[in-house]
Amino acid sequence: MTELLDSEAVETVFRRLRDAMPGRTRGAKGPKGQPDAFRACIACMLSAQSLDRNTAAATQALFALATTPNAMLDLSDTQIAQAIRPAGLYNVKTRNIRQFCEALLANHAGVVPRSREGLMSLPGIGRKCADIVMSFTFGADVIAVDTHVHRVCNRIGLTAARTAEGTARQLESRAPHWALHDGHFWLIQFGKQICQARRPQCAVCPLSDLCRWRLENLEK
């Protein structure tokens, strides 16, 4: 497992990312471009094990039928499943959507909670979805961990975790407070543009002298 960077190096990593990456864009909003917290949660649930284009097709079809928890519960399971079929696992996701809406109405008067604890108390919402909704929809200072962020953090040595949830917990304690607001954006942009999964662009990487993965591979 990659050796962790010390706290001074972690600060340096985030300063360099801040300088190299554009960060949070003005138009950044809910997951998959959804305009409110309810639809952001549903879209995040649908995105599990689904390509972006398939998630987009599923959300468009579903939200053409219902955009509130009450309206969603008025739909039959068949209607929901048929709408979200492009996203895959549609029977499981249909059940999660229905349970999510029921819990949201029963426990939160239909209003999506703004806290991680409140979000994660809802069926179908794990740490990743909760943090994504908090960051994108509510503008909270939290680094949401998706595939790109998980890969980058563990390559560099910001974290040493086997799961995205483990990476999120470590980032919460290791990232400087000033980096929490835009940290997700810097890391995901860095992961897409430079620290790519199959062909990391180490020759142009602003973190190459600090990256534990690169240093370990140079020593082999």
Q: Which of 32, 93, 131, 146 is catalytic?
A: 146
Rounded distance, CA 129 to CA 145, Å? 9
DSSP label at 86? G
Rounded distance, CA 75 to CA 166, Å? 36
Is there a catalytic annotation at residue 146? yes
Is there a catalytic annotation at residue 29? no
Cα-based distances in Å from 55 to 33, 99, 110, 181, 219: 11, 20, 24, 26, 42
Nearest Cα neighbor of 144 from 47, 14, 31, 16 is 31
Q: Which of 93, 128, 131, 182 is catalytic?
A: 128
Annotated catalytic sites, by residue? Answer: 128, 146
